[in-house]
A and B are shown apart, each in its own frame.
Chain A
C-alpha cells in the first residue's frame, strides 16, 4: 500500500458525519412532534394549511432538503458498513456501495421533486 492511491472515501464520510449530526439532533424532534405529540393530542397540532405554508417557505425547504438528504446519506453509509462487516459481505463492496449510495441519490432526487412541487 506504499504507492497506493488516497481514498475517495472523504466525500461519503463527510456526508455520513454531517448526516449523523442531523439524524441525532433534528430528526428526533420531528419524530417526537409529528409521530407522538401531535397525533396523541398532547400538543395542539397546527392545521394542514399552516403546515403547508410553513413548508413552502424557502428557508423551510432548504432545511428539509438538508435534513432529509443528509439523513439518507448517513443511513446509506451505515447500512453499507453494517452489511459489509456484520454480514461479512466485504467482497461485494462495490455492489453494496452502488445500492446504498444509489438509494441515497434516488432519495435526494425524490426529495428535490417533492420540495419543488409541494
Chain B
C-alpha cells in the first residue's frame, strides 16, 4: 500500500473571486491519522492559506464537519486510511454559504437555533430551594436529543434544507423537542408556535438522512415525527378549545 494519499480540497477565496475549485495535495497516509490530521498537515507543511475550522479533535466541539467524498462527516472522527487508496475529496458542508475554503457561514443556523428557545423556560416565579429533581425516567425522555453538538452535519445531509433555506432544520427542531420533553420546562407552547409553522416540522418529508449522519446518534427525524403528532393533536384541540395566548 502506498504511504501517501491524495486529498482533493475545496478552495474558494471571496477576495480573489472566481468559482470554487478543488486543489490536490499529497499527504502521508499514517494508520492513526484522521482526515483532519491530513488537513492540518497541508496547513502546516504545504499551504498555510488553507482555511478550515477545528478545535477539540475528539468529536465533542462539532466544528470540523465537512463533506468527505460527498458525505457530511466530522473530519476528526474519520480515519484517512478508510479512504485509501484515495483520492479523498474534502469540501465545505452542503447547503451553507461558503466563507472561505472549507469554512461555512453558520449565522443562519444560529438564528434558527435561537428561535426555538433551546433552554429551560419557566413561566412561573418558582424559585426552587435547591436544584430541580428529575427521575431517571424523566432524564431518559430527552437525553438522546441533548447530545447534539451543533455540528450541522444534519443540515448538509437534509435535501429539504437544500431546497428551502427557510426550513428550521433537523438540529434546531431536535433541540426544541429536547426542551419540550424536559420535566423542568414550561416553554412548550412558545416552541410549538415556531416548529408548527410550515417552515418548521411540516417542511420535513422524512428522508431521514439527518439521523444517518449524526455523529452523536441523535435521531432528529424521530423528534420531527413526534412533534408532528403533538402539533396535530394541538391543531385539533384548537378547534375544540380556542387557545388563549399566554
- In this assembly, does A5 line the interface, its C-beta being within 8 Å of a C-beta of chain B? yes
Whether A88 lies near B202 (C-beta < 8 A) is no
Chain A residues within an 8 Å CB radius of B192: 6
Q: How large is the interface on A (under 10, 10 to 19, 20 to 34, 35 or more residues)?
A: 10 to 19
Whether B232 lies near A14 (C-beta < 8 A) is yes
Closest to B236 in A: A10
Stretch at the interface among B14-22, B27-35, B61-69, B157-165: B157-165
**Known contacts A13-B228, A14-B232, A88-B163; is-contact A1 B202 (Cβ 8 Å):** no
**Known contacts A6-B235, A14-B232, A85-B160; is-contact A1 B205 (Cβ 8 Å):** no
Q: Which one of A2, A13, A85, A90 contacts B202 once the chains associate, using CB atoms below 8 Å?
A: A13
Whether B159 lies near A11 (C-beta < 8 A) is no
**Known contacts A1-B115, A1-B166; is-contact A81 B205 (Cβ 8 Å):** yes
Q: Which of B218-237 contact A (CB under 8 A)?
A: 228, 231-232, 234-236
Q: Which one of B115, B163, B168, B231 contacts A6 once the chains associate, using CB atoms below 8 Å?
A: B231
Chain B residues within an 8 Å CB radius of A11: 235
Main SS of chain B's interface residues? Answer: helix
Q: Shortest beta-carbon distance, B237 to chain A, in Å? A: 11
Closest to B198 in A: A7
Q: Which one of B159, B168, B231 contacts A10 once the chains associate, using CB atoms below 8 Å?
A: B231
Q: List 25 A-B contacts (CB under 8 A).
A: A1-B166, A1-B168, A1-B199, A1-B200, A2-B194, A4-B193, A4-B194, A6-B193, A6-B231, A7-B200, A7-B202, A7-B231, A9-B198, A9-B202, A10-B231, A10-B236, A13-B202, A13-B228, A13-B232, A81-B205, A85-B159, A85-B160, A85-B163, A88-B163, A90-B164
A residues sitting closer than 8 Å to B (CB atoms) are 1-2, 4-11, 13-14, 81, 85, 88, 90
